[in-house]
């Protein structure tokens, strides 16, 4: 089955700097890679996703890159703000089966 | 107001008791999912359902059961056979298929003592 590794587990950056979170996956049949943001005590919310037919996708300060050959994808947040502080999860589809396999999460801390 | 509701937000039970967590959606989604979240862990798939009256086991189904009698509802029962039931439980739904956005509910925090 699919295995998703996520690094780092905690990331602290100064407000205004950029943050990068990286994930690797194992199943070459996976084609859908979403990123979720979870605030304390709440359910995760999708912030951006990418499919295997593109290498990069941007939405304002957030971008995701995908390297299918190396089986890794990354989340980039520029000009970080205090409201970006949260736990971020990467995920990959399960190669045709329903459901997603999630990474263990990155706690992003924005220092004022 | 469309979305997914889970109730209750906090649930306390004694060891040895079964407990059922509610999940309802009004998004007209065909697929529904249950995940378990533990501190420092990602979300792990318990069960999922693609259509009414059908469901499949996920990665950690032991000690759990589900039903899907209505499209809108996908309740999860945590049985006494589940060795470590204390966790945060998240329900999600999506349009049919595994390669689409999943919408999550607010979660239920279950504590078993």
Q: Determine the distance in angstroms separating the CA of B109 from the nearest CA of chain A, rounded to an integer.
A: 9
Percentage above 90 pLDDT, chain B: 85
CA of A104: which chain B residue's CA is closest?
B42
Q: Determine the distance in angstroms separating the CA of B97 from the nearest CA of chain A, rounded to an integer.
A: 6
Residue B2: band (very low, low, confident or very high) from pLDDT cuts 50, 70, 90: low
DSSP letter string, A27-68: -TT--EEEEEEE-TTS--EEEEEEETT-SEEEETTEEEEEET
CA of A99: which chain B residue's CA is closest?
B98
CA of A47: which chain B residue's CA is closest?
B101
CA of B88: which chain A residue's CA is closest?
A41
Q: Determine the distance in angstroms separating the CA of A39 from the nearest CA of chain B, rounded to an integer.
A: 10
3-state SS, residue A8: coil
CA dihedral (A39, A44, A47, A52) in degrees, to 10, reads 140
Residue A79: band (very low, low, confident or very high) from pLDDT cuts 50, 70, 90: very high
CB contact under 8 A, A99 and B48: yes
What separation in angstroms does the CA of A62 have from each of A53, A74, A81, B46, B99?
19, 11, 12, 30, 21
Interface with B, mutate which of A32, A94, A100 (most B CBs under 10 A) = A100
Residue A84: band (very low, low, confident or very high) from pLDDT cuts 50, 70, 90: very high
Q: Determine the distance in angstroms separating the CA of A111 from the nearest CA of chain B, rounded to an integer.
A: 21
- Antiparallel, parallel or unpaired: β B19-25 and B43-51: unpaired
CB contact under 8 A, B40 and A98: no
Percentage above 70 pLDDT, chain B: 97
Are the CB atoms for B61 and B35 separated by under 8 Å? Answer: no
Per-residue pLDDT tens digits for B48-96: 999 999 999 999 999 999 999 999 999 999 999 999 999 999 999 998 7
pLDDT of residue A53: 84
Interface with B, mutate which of A50, A92, A98 (most B CBs under 10 A) = A98
CB contact under 8 A, A1 and B59: yes
């Amino acid at each position: 089955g699919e295995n998703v590794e996520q690094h780092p587990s905690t990331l602290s950056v100064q407000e205004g700097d950029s943050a990068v979170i990286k994930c690797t996956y194992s199943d070459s049949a996976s084609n859908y890679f979403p990123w979720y943001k979870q605030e304390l005590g709440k359910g995760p919310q999708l912030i951006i996703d990418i499919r295997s037919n593109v290498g990069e996708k941007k939405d304002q300060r957030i971008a995701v890159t995908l390297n299918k050959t190396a089986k890794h994808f990354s989340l980039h947040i520029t000009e970080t703000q205090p409201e970006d502080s949260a736990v971020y999860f990467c995920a990959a589809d399960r190669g045709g089966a329903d459901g997603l396999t999630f990474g263990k999460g990155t706690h992003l801390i924005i220092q004022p | 107001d469309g979305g997914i509701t889970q109730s209750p937000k906090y649930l306390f039970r004694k060891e040895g008791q079964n407990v059922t967590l509610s999940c309802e959606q009004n998004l007209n989604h065909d697929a529904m999912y249950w995940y378990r979240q533990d501190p420092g862990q990602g979300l792990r798939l318990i069960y999922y359902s693609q259509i009414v009256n059908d469901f499949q086991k996920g990665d950690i189904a032991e000690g759990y059961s589900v039903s899907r009698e209505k499209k809108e509802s996908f309740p999860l029962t945590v049985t006494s056979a589940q060795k470590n039931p204390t966790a945060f439980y998240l329900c999600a739904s999506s349009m049919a298929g595994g390669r689409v956005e999943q919408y999550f509910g607010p979660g239920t925090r279950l504590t078993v003592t």
